[in-house]
């Protein structure tokens, strides 16, 4: 059996949809905090088991009979190291054979502050004694597409990435990779640096939005502190605003770029283009 943690989240749901194409529903376990959020999967035969990232005993029970676990990194930045440690401990207790972990692109050398908890988790995996595979995911294209509507409204797309190249891919691309790894043999010890096939800058994103929307949109680069302040002014909590601004600044240093094409090789198709992603967003 294969268990997916955080199965009701945007990535988790997509991974399960991909797995259902090749794996029997009864061999898939959706581990969620609130089972009501995945009733649709339960109706299709997927096993739904309730467990919180903070409860080792509940997690161990949820992993009973499971051979492989996809540990989708927690969305609670600042709490991730502890929560991930709980999942690793529970998986070991339950006799899980392989943990696949969604880490960050080039986590071991990334300039992004976001990498810190991923590095800790990778070390925890190494020390656990449980076999693991690292899915070092790059940036989600959707992280930037959420800013398209206000950019069109105001004619300006703001950020602090300068002309840094961003080799993003969609959640669906990363989900397909995770599902593929979970169904392949001999994955223990592998490290996948996963990113989109083609890098782009925020200037190029603004130009693409302008082209497809028919509305003039330009990119305005801010320093990290000013971008953080702008995000807070738009209503984002300070911690989240700081995280996004720092990630943009990291992109300027190459932290969100990779041209190894491991993602498209793994999923057997090109990653979703920026043009197609913008078209979907519009």
Shared-domain flag, residues 31 and 109: yes
Let me know if residue 13 belongs to a domain. Answer: yes
Q: Is the pLDDT of residue 77 over 80?
A: no
Residue 185 confidence (pLDDT): 95
Q: Is the pLDDT of residue 80 over 90?
A: no
Q: Is the pLDDT of residue 23 over 80?
A: yes
Q: What whole-number distance in Å separates Cα of residue 95 and Cα of residue 77? A: 28
Q: Is the pLDDT of residue 236 over 90?
A: no
Shared-domain flag, residues 96 and 31: yes
What average pLDDT score do residues 243-269 get? 95
What average pLDDT score do residues 105-131 get? 95
Quote the percentage of the chain above a pLDDT of 70: 100
91: containing domain = 2-137
Residue 78 confidence (pLDDT): 75
What average pLDDT score do residues 176-185 get? 97
Shared-domain flag, residues 114 and 30: yes
Residue 200 confidence (pLDDT): 97
Read off the pLDDT of residues 43-55 as tens digits, 9 standing for 90 and up: 999 999 999 999 9
Shared-domain flag, residues 19 and 71: yes
Tally of domains in the chain? 2
pTM, entire model: 0.95
Shared-domain flag, residues 24 and 132: yes
Residue 76 confidence (pLDDT): 81
Shared-domain flag, residues 150 and 235: yes
Query: Residue 194: which H helix or E strand, with range?
Result: strand 191-194
What average pLDDT score do residues 188-209 get? 97
Let me know if residue 176 belongs to a domain. Answer: no
Domain end position, chosen among 137, 153, 186: 137
Let me know if residue 183 belongs to a domain. Answer: no
Shared-domain flag, residues 130 and 237: no
Residue 183 confidence (pLDDT): 97
Residue 75 confidence (pLDDT): 82
Shared-domain flag, residues 241 and 149: yes
Shared-domain flag, residues 131 and 113: yes
Let me know if residue 185 belongs to a domain. Answer: no
Residue 106 confidence (pLDDT): 97
For the range 238-245, what are the long-range contacts, defined as Cβ-Cβ under 8 Å and sequence gap of 24 or more? 239/77, 239/78, 240/77, 243/77, 243/113, 243/114, 245/160
Residue 74 confidence (pLDDT): 87
Read off the pLDDT of residues 129-178 as tens digits, 9 standing for 90 and up: 999 999 999 999 999 998 899 999 999 999 999 999 999 999 999 999 99
Residue 207 confidence (pLDDT): 96
CATH number of the domain bearing residue 207 = 3.90.25.10
Largest CA distance in the chain: 57
Let me know if residue 15 belongs to a domain. Answer: yes
Shared-domain flag, residues 132 and 150: no
Read off the pLDDT of residues 31-76 as tens digits, 9 standing for 90 and up: 999 999 999 999 999 999 999 999 999 999 999 999 999 999 988 8
Q: Is the pLDDT of residue 83 over 80?
A: yes
Shared-domain flag, residues 81 and 147: no
Shared-domain flag, residues 80 and 154: no
What average pLDDT score do residues 24-30 get? 98
């Amino acid at each position: 059996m294969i268990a997916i943690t955080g199965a009701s989240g945007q990535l988790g749901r997509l991974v399960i949809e991909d797995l259902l194409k090749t794996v029997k529903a009864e061999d898939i376990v959706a581990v969620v905090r609130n089972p009501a959020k995945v009733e649709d999967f339960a109706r299709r035969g997927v096993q739904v088991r309730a467990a919180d990232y903070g409860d080792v005993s509940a997690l161990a029970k949820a992993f009973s009979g499971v051979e492989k676990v996809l540990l989708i990194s927690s969305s609670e930045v600042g709490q991730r190291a502890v929560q991930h440690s709980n999942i690793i401990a529970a998986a070991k207790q339950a006799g899980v054979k392989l943990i696949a972990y969604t880490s960050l692109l080039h986590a071991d050398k990334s300039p992004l502050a976001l990498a810190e908890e991923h590095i800790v988790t990778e070390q925890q995996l190494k020390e656990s004694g449980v076999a693991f595979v690292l899915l070092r995911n790059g940036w989600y294209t959707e992280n930037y597409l959420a800013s398209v509507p206000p950019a069109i409204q105001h004619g300006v797309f703001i950020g602090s990435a300068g002309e840094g190249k961003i080799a993003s891919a969609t959640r669906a691309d990363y989900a397909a990779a995770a599902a593929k790894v979970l169904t392949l043999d001999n994955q223990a010890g592998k490290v996948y640096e996963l990113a989109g096939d083609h890098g782009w800058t925020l200037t190029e994103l603004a130009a693409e939005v302008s082209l497809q929307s028919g509305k003039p949109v330009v990119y305005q680069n801010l320093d990290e502190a000013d971008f953080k302040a702008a995000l807070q002014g738009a209503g984002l909590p300070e911690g989240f605003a700081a995280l996004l601004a720092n990630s943009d600044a990291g992109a300027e240093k190459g932290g969100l770029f990779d041209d190894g094409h491991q993602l498209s090789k793994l999923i057997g198709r090109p990653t979703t283009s920026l043009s197609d992603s913008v078209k979907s967003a519009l």
